[in-house]
Amino acid sequence: MPATMAAEAAEQVNKRNNQSNVKLTDEVTEPARCENNNNSRAETERSRYFTETELLRQHRLGEEFFKQPCISLAKAFLGKVTLLPPHPHLTFTLILSKRCTFGNRCEVLVRRCADGAELRGRVVETEAYLGGEDRASHSAGGRRTQRNTAMFMKPGTIYVYPIYGIYLCMNVSSEGDGAAVLLRSAEALQGQSVMRQLRAAQRKEGARQLKDRELCNGPAKLCQALSIPRCFDRRDLASDPEVWLEREPNASWAEPHDVVSASRIGIESHGEWAKKPWRFYLRGHPCVSVVNKEAERRQQYGNVMNDLSPSDVQQPDTGQNDVKGT
């Protein structure tokens, strides 16, 4: 299916699922209460943006950020991507010379521990689960249970659920009945030593020390490294004092990190819905959990063709322009 048709189909599903008519009682929508447990005794530096209330209000992303369709939110978590002009001193091939490099404004997930220390990770990979017609979603067909209630709550509500009985995954609700974004991977930015300890506690004794890029490169790993417990389910990411999303104001990215659209992971049994390109990640980022080379090649070819003007495309030589002698 051409990329434009796939995008149009996704937006149609988004639109159909965007009519919210599920009414929830206050009792049901209250988040679970966590015990006051300091998961980290190690000393870490505090976020330079959130040590003061005024700065917190300045950089924290509020309700408006989450009030968008599921696919749009899944991409927004990866940061605001802007086109930059090609660097004048870099040499490109003829085909790629018209393309731009990308600059990203990072969206950073912050976890404040009980001792005031903060763990920070930049989101680099997400998956969109639209609910409704999306058979791979926990809320497929509008099915609402005690477990997936957070998916039907206001945009920005955290949905934490267990997999394999021992691991956790963190999602964030978007616009639309039962729609949510899975946070698949992140790049550890602050508190790596604490993250390494938290990950080690869930691994076999004597296992090798994890590299920084391995700390959050998967949904369960992300929850372990950032100390996201099950009781964070139904919390509001826009207002919670222990976990939030902030915008990195001083990010300066020049690498060509495209946002890649690929099929989602681990849902092969859901037929055609397993093939939907609703997983999004930053091309070339070392913290992405699973790289889809085929999707990258297909998308890069499409981008190149879109960038070319008719004059860039070499026309076949038919011999009609040859000058014949007299």
113/103: higher pLDDT:
113
The pLDDT assigned to 62 comes to 95
75 in a structural domain: yes
The pLDDT assigned to 67 comes to 98
The pLDDT assigned to 95 comes to 26
**Residue pLDDT, tens place only, 150-199:** 999 999 999 999 999 899 999 999 999 999 999 999 999 999 999 999 99
Residue 104, pLDDT > 60, answer no
6 in a structural domain: no
161 in a structural domain: no
1 in a structural domain: no
Beta bridge partners of 262: 279
Concatenate the DSSP letters of all residues of 14-45 into one string.
HHHTT-------HHHHSPPPPP------S--P
229 in a structural domain: yes
Percent of the chain with pLDDT over 70: 64
**Residue pLDDT, tens place only, 238-296:** 999 999 999 876 654 434 458 999 999 999 999 999 999 999 999 999 999 999 999 99
169 in a structural domain: no
Question: What count of residues does the chain have?
Answer: 326
Residue 107, pLDDT > 50, answer yes
In this structure, are residues 247 and 57 in contact, taking their beta carbons and an 8 Å threshold? no
- Rounded to whole angstroms, the Cα distance separating 277 from 268 reads 13
**Residue pLDDT, tens place only, 28-54:** 445 555 765 444 333 344 444 444 444
The pLDDT assigned to 108 comes to 95
The pLDDT assigned to 82 comes to 43
Give me the mean pLDDT over the 303-312 stretch.
53
Measuring CA to CA, which residue among 122, 115, 157, 142 is closest to residue 28?
157
The pLDDT assigned to 12 comes to 56
The pLDDT assigned to 302 comes to 67
Q: Is the pTM of this model over 0.85?
A: no
- Rounded to whole angstroms, the Cα distance separating 176 from 11 reads 12
Q: How confident is the model at residue 213 (pLDDT cuts 50, 70, 90)?
A: very high
Residue 11, pLDDT > 60, answer no
The pLDDT assigned to 206 comes to 86
Sorted by sequence, the CB contacts under 8 Å of residue 119 that are 6+ apart come out as 40, 44, 110, 111, 113, 190, 191, 194, 195, 225, 226, 227
The pLDDT assigned to 117 comes to 92
Least confident of 105-109, 139-143, 154-158, 180-184: 105-109
| CATH number reported for the structural domain that contains residue 52 in this entry | 3.10.300.10
Q: How confident is the model at residue 58 (pLDDT cuts 50, 70, 90)?
A: low
CA 230 to chain centre: 20
15 in a structural domain: no
Total count of domains within the chain:
1
The pLDDT assigned to 254 comes to 33
The pLDDT assigned to 318 comes to 46
316 in a structural domain: no
Domain that includes residue 258, residue range: 39-85+93-127+180-308
